[in-house]
Amino acid sequence: MTAETADGSSGIDGEDPSIRDILATEIGKTDFRIVISTMLAIYALFIVLTFLGGGDINSAGSSIIRLTFLFAAYGILTLALNLHWGYTGLFNIGVAGFMAVGVYTMAIVSTSPDAVSGTGLGLPLIVGVIAGMIMAALVGLVAAVPALRLRADYLAIVTLGLSEIIRLTLNSATLSNWTVSVFGFGTGGGSGIDLPARPTDALLNTAFGDVLVDVLGTFLRPSVIRRSLWVLVMIGFVIAVYWLLVRVGNSPFGRVLKAIREDELVAQSLGKDTRWFKIKVFMLGCALMGLGGILWQGSQGYVSPDSFRPIVTFYVFVALIIGGSGSNTGSLVGSILFVGLLFEGPRTLANIVSGSLSLGSAPGTFAGAMAPLASLEITPLLAYFMNNISALRFILLGVVLVIIMQRRPEGVLGHRTETAAAISLDRPGPARTNGGESDE
Amino acid sequence: MDVSDVITRGKVTIREQPLLAIAVLATALLALDLLARLAGIEVPLAGGRTFGGELSMGRFSGLVWNGIIVGLIFGLAGIGLSMTYSILNFANFSHGDLVTTGAFTGWGAALLVAGWGIGDIGHLLLVRPGSGASPNEIGASIVQAPLSILIGVIIAALATVVVAVIIDRIVYKPMRDRGGIPLLIASIGAALALRYILQFVYGGRNRGVTSTQDVNTEIAGFSVNMHELTLVIVAISLMLAMHFMLQRTKLGKAMRAMADNKDLALVTGIPTERVVTATWVLGGALAGVAGYLYVLERGTIEFNIGWFLLLFIFAAVILGGIGSIYGAIAGGFVIGFVHEVSLIWIPSDFNAAAAFLIMILVLLYRPQGIFGGVTTA
């Protein structure tokens, strides 16, 4: 592999370390610095883009809040998927389905019984969140018990099928108004279900909220402040999940998981009941996917089955693969890079380009865009490109996925060996070796 | 053989394969219920539910006919998926979008021929992306313009072959010796790119394509939709052609050998890379034609029809046993029947879920497929 990354340790034994190398080694020193500097780089990019597009500090602030919201949402899901795929080698492509189970269970438990669409029991939110996680874990259990002995590609098809079954069930009109005696369990069908409000929203109506609006209100709109409060909660959850997974990964339990990923037969030969380990880890990951779904799709006041199409699973997979499966830090970096460069970046860029170039109205069809090329007019084609940026974004996503799988399947940070032992086993020396490959 | 012997053997089966016994029992119950419904017998059970009920013979035969139609589509598209799965050893998630490729390119050609001089060329070639000549004005139907439909079939096959081979060269060839999972992930990437290139070029509108004038006629007393009849004839003749190709030609033998044991095939001197290309050519052509015929039958086209078909195609392939083209065809019929005939018992928003559930159950309890695990074509 000849690819050189910015955070590689190429500057250590170089003869004259340039500024870039020094920066790279400094950033690469701790995982926290890697995540933060990636995030700051994306923020800087978007602030520059916003001001280029003629935005003010309010729009810059709201774009940063939106980015952070998505970082956190994808971060939790990617961490959960990393537990399945990166740590244990379980190829689960039903993430969206487990998210849906979490969100809908939360909704049915916590939405008030007299909601406009869908019906719930109206229990406290925390009960709903816990119920959602438990339910996602239980659905994971039901799927895991028979499916985990399957080959990886069969497991992929089973989980994808399961997530589609879940989505179709939630979408069905039959269950939309389901009631048992006085208790409503309606999913709302295709028209979706109303959700309880974010708990942080109530905070703004208190004395603390008034102070907050007074202090920050001079340069930020109240709606931005309200969203940023929720984003802070999500960041807290990301840190908690990250901490939990690092603990799990470094525990004896995590060592078995890595052993299963590398060679399940060896783990079995050592007397580990690998099936039970896989079931437990599958349930834990599913519960975290449910949590991720609740924090993300469950925090917007309303959700419909359309939010859980298989494409969401693929997004999470792309984020994980970019970051490098097997690495928790890589999962976070991958989420940030995915959201910033692949998900939000193209749209923002297209807005700026079409805003600054005055391309005129875009042609409605590809033929209408291509015809003027005969007379060497490129503007309609460019306008068509900018108008269809969402399609181009998916094409970019697919191309990036293929290129990563061909050129760098280990992702940005996947090359880092995460030692299973609690203490470092590296020999002291100037150059760090990459454990797995050095004994060839 | 006396009765007690049969009972003992039945007991053994139940003890050893309880799930199989349950499946057999459930199937038998459903069959009885179906017979009762057709006979118009209704036996009330507890809770306001009944055994049997009303089902007219006309509705039942209509559902069976629909099952055959979609089953042929699943089977035709499934042949290619099954071949790439067994010969290249990975689940190709971009197969559904090859189906869409065939649908769009084929119908572009068909509309261009049928509507020559009626609408402008861009409008026809891009399969009516915006406002313009209506399907009935263009008149693309087997009755009004049979030649255009035929040309469409050929273009659908050719264009899909080109796309499939290009994707193989760019995406899969550099990673030929990697495991099934990296290839699977790469195929998801290829699927996304291909699907949204199609959306970019052809637009995202769901629109009508075929002309429906005079399509329903009577042949020997039966009311027949000529488009469905065309679908059945084309699909069955392609399936027969595949059968003779695999059994009678050298290429077919080489493909069966590769599906069975790749290393052995290599040692024997089979040009594996050429066989791989042939696999993409055949699989791509069948997928493209399947997409084209699917649109002929349903009359409308959209950029993600193939993606929505993909799980059904997987279900058909898995049910029949991965690698077996006869299995894929048979599995297609089973999934098609489940998809349509299950409507007798369950609401229409669950029939897709029922088909997927059967796929999952087969994967879990009989991953070699219901027809006994023949891995060679």
Share of chain B above pLDDT 90, in %: 28
CA distance B361 to chain A (A): 9
Supply B207's token pair: 């629109």
The per-residue pLDDT for B283 is: 92
- Say if residue A440's pLDDT is above 60: no
**Going by CATH, does the domain composed of B65-365 fall within 1.10.3470?**
yes
The per-residue pLDDT for A258 is: 81
Picking from B91, B293, B304, B296, the residue whose alpha carbon sits closest to that of residue B197 is B304
pLDDT band at B105 (very low <50, low <70, confident <90, very high): very high
Q: A154 CB near a chain B CB, below 8 Å?
A: yes
Supply B113's token pair: 């021929």
The per-residue pLDDT for A183 is: 65
The per-residue pLDDT for A260 is: 82
The per-residue pLDDT for B48 is: 58
Span A128-187, pLDDT tens digits: 889 999 999 999 998 888 777 777 888 888 899 999 999 988 888 777 766 666 666 677
Question: Is the complex ipTM more than 0.95?
Answer: no
Domains of chain A in sequence order: 19-413 (1.10.3470)
- Say if residue B289's pLDDT is above 80: yes
Q: Of B146 and B191, which is predicted with more confidence?
A: B191
Contacting B residues, span 34-93, partner chain A, CB-CB under 8 Å: 90-91
Q: Identify the closest residue of chain B to A408 by CA–CA distance.
A: B182
User: Which conformational region is residue B369 in: left (phi greater than 0), alpha (psi within -120 to 50 degrees), or beta?
Assistant: left
- The type of residue at A173 is A
Secondary structure percentages of chain B, helix, strand, coil, to 5: 70, 5, 25
The per-residue pLDDT for B156 is: 94
SS3 A6: coil
pLDDT band at A194 (very low <50, low <70, confident <90, very high): confident
Cβ atoms of residues A334 and A321 within 8 Å? yes
Span A96-137, pLDDT tens digits: 999 999 999 888 888 777 776 667 777 788 888 899 999 999
Mean of the per-residue pLDDT values of chain A: 79
- Say if residue B78's pLDDT is above 70: yes
Q: Give chain A's largest Cα–Cα span.
A: 78
Span A376-425, pLDDT tens digits: 777 777 888 887 888 888 999 999 999 988 888 777 776 555 555 555 55
- pTM for this entry: 0.85
Alpha helices in B205-249 (DSSP H): 226-248
Point out the residue among A164, A174, A367 whose CB comes nearest to the CB of B347: A174
Residue ranges of E strands in chain B: 42-44, 50-52, 207-208, 216-219, 222-225, 300-301
Domain boundaries, chain B: 1-55, 65-365
Mean of the per-residue pLDDT values of chain B: 84
Rounded CA-CA distance A28/A43 in Å is 19
Q: Of B125 and B193, which is predicted with more confidence?
A: B193
CA distance A152 to chain B (A): 7
SS3 A180: strand
Contacting B residues, span 333-352, partner chain A, CB-CB under 8 Å: 347, 349-350, 352
Q: Of B264 and A186, which is predicted with more confidence?
A: B264
Picking from B190, B11, B225, B224, the residue whose alpha carbon sits closest to that of residue B84 is B190
Q: A364 CB near a chain B CB, below 8 Å?
A: yes
Q: B134 CB near a chain A CB, below 8 Å?
A: no
User: End-to-end alpha-carbon separation of chain B, Å?
Assistant: 37
Cross-strand pairs, A194: A302
Rounded CA-CA distance B79/B246 in Å is 12
Instruction: Spell out which residues of chain B touch residue A173, defining contact as CB-CB under 8 Å.
Output: 347, 349
Q: Of B350 and A400, which is predicted with more confidence?
A: A400
Span B148-176, pLDDT tens digits: 889 999 999 999 999 999 999 999 998 88
The per-residue pLDDT for A437 is: 42
Question: A131: which residues sit within 8 A by CB, 6+ positions away?
Answer: A105, A106, A109
- The type of residue at B82 is S
Rounded CA-CA distance A92/A152 in Å is 9
- The type of residue at B360 is I
Which of A155-169, A262-276, A341-355, B258-272 has the largest mean confidence?
A: A155-169
The per-residue pLDDT for A15 is: 52
Cross-strand pairs, A183: A180
DSSP 8-state assignment for residue B73: H
Instruction: Spell out which residues of chain B touch residue A401, defining contact as CB-CB under 8 Å.
Output: 185-186, 188-189, 192
Span A207-253, pLDDT tens digits: 777 777 777 766 677 777 888 888 888 999 999 999 998 888 888 88
Q: Of A261 and B151, which is predicted with more confidence?
A: B151
Cβ atoms of residues B216 and B223 within 8 Å? yes
- Say if residue B26's pLDDT is above 70: yes
DSSP 8-state assignment for residue A409: T
Span A40-71, pLDDT tens digits: 888 888 888 888 877 777 788 888 888 899 99
Instruction: Spell out which residues of chain A touch residue B356, defining contact as CB-CB under 8 Å.
Output: 161-162, 164-165, 168
Instruction: Spell out which residues of chain A touch residue B201, defining contact as CB-CB under 8 Å.
Output: 366
Span A242-257, pLDDT tens digits: 999 888 888 888 888 8
The per-residue pLDDT for A146 is: 79
Point out the residue among A153, A366, A400 whose CB comes nearest to the CB of B181: A153
Rounded CA-CA distance A405/A324 in Å is 11
Cβ atoms of residues B14 and B21 within 8 Å? yes
Q: Identify the closest residue of chain B to A400 by CA–CA distance.
A: B189
The per-residue pLDDT for A418 is: 56
Q: Would you mind telling me the total number of residues written for chain A in this entry?
A: 440
Average pLDDT value for residue range B296-315: 90
The per-residue pLDDT for A423 is: 53
Span B31-49, pLDDT tens digits: 888 887 777 777 776 655 6
Q: How many CB pairs under 8 A join A and B?
A: 151
Q: B363 CB near a chain A CB, below 8 Å?
A: yes
